Every structure is written in C-alpha cells, then in structure tokens.
Amino acid sequence: MTLCFVLVPIIDPSAAFAMTVETVTAPAKNTEPLQTVTAGGSQALSATRTQFTTSKILPKAPAAGTPDPGTAQAIAHEMVIARGWNEEQYSCLVALWERESHWNVYAHNAKSGAHGIPQALPGEKMATVGADWETNPATQITWGLNYIAGRYADPCGAWSSSETRGWY
C-alpha cells in the first residue's frame, strides 16, 4: 500500500508571521523518516510512520503606535513599559483588548459575565486590585496585566493564545 501526502502551503509573503508548532501522533509499526517539506523557511511538515508535525503560522499583532494622552491605551502603554515589556508587547495588548472589549471600561458580556477592558470572568475578580474595578480603567488594566503575566508570561503570549483559540 502506498501512502502519499500533498502539502500546498499558502503564505502571504508581505505579512509578518509568528509560528507555533502542533504535533499529531498516529500509531504505526515503523519509525523510519518518510518525508520533510519546508516552504520558504517558515512552514514545515515532517512525517515518519508514527507521527507528523506541522507548523501553524499565526500573524503578529499590528503595530499599535502612540496612544492618545489620557486614554485607557495610554495608561496601558505606561504600565507595559514599566513592567519591562516593549512596544511589540504593547501592540499585542492593544490588538487583544481591542478584540475583547474595544477598550471599553464598561464592556460586559451578558452571556458569559465577562467584564471590562480585559473581559475578566467574572468581573468581580478585578476587585483584588481596587474597589473601583467597575469604572476605573487603571484598575482593570492592572488586573488584566497581572492575569496575562501569570498565565501567558506577556501580552504576545496571550495574543497568540487568542489567535489560536479565539479567547485568552
């Protein structure tokens, strides 16, 4: 029996990419390498009789630029830089929270109960940072950055997870 795989990668050469790797393993009797294919140095498929590995290409967050003074994004920018993260991390945060809440301090998801700029679930979790968690963007951003640092290490880790799963 002959088994053939055809891989046709479609890559936009003008886009910047980040890469994550997913491995899928299937049972088999022989582990001799069968084939490795690499496209443009950024996407690969390798296969043996027991497993194959594919690279999943994820787009980077678009550059956020300089926030308007006095906005929630300006508060977040100061906090991101104070943590020692860079502009790329800030851009990931802007993209993430734009998707989640459009940076609206009052955003509330009636279905899940998620609340605020970081869409904390439940929103009351943010009270650990301040009693004004329902209305203060600085309190919500502080809580959100603490959550991201604890769970994903940094905003780009959270953005990558959101790109993969649709949530963070």
The per-residue pLDDT for range 98-131, each reduced to its tens digit, is 999 999 999 999 999 999 999 999 999 999 999 9
Q: Are residues 88 and 151 in the same domain?
A: yes
- Determine the length of the chain: 168
In this structure, the answer to whether residues 50 and 117 fall within a common structural domain is no
pTM: 0.68
114 and 135 belong to one structural domain: yes
Q: Which residue segment(s) compose the domain that 161 sits in?
A: 72-165
Whether residues 44 and 80 share a domain: the answer is no
pLDDT at 3: 52
41 and 87, same domain (yes or no):
no
Report the pLDDT value the prediction gives residue 56, as an integer from 0 to 100. Answer: 55
| pLDDT score at 147 | 98
- 84 and 50 in a common domain: no
Question: Do 80 and 154 share a domain, yes or no?
Answer: yes
**What is the rounded CA–CA span in Å between residue 108 and residue 120?**
9
pLDDT (0 to 100) of residue 60: 87
Same domain, 128 and 76: yes
Going from the first residue of the chain to its last (168 residues), give the mean pLDDT of each consecutive group of 10, the final group possibly shorter.
48 42 45 52 50 60 92 98 98 98 97 97 97 98 98 97 92
- Confidence at residue 6, expressed as pLDDT on a 0 to 100 scale: 45
Tell me the three state secondary structure of residue 44.
strand
* Whether residues 100 and 121 fall in one domain: yes
Return the bridge partners of 25, or none.
Answer: 51
Query: Do residue 79 and residue 138 come from a single domain?
Result: yes
Query: Contact 36/44 with Cβ under 8 angstroms?
Result: yes
Query: Are 76 and 55 in the same domain?
Result: no
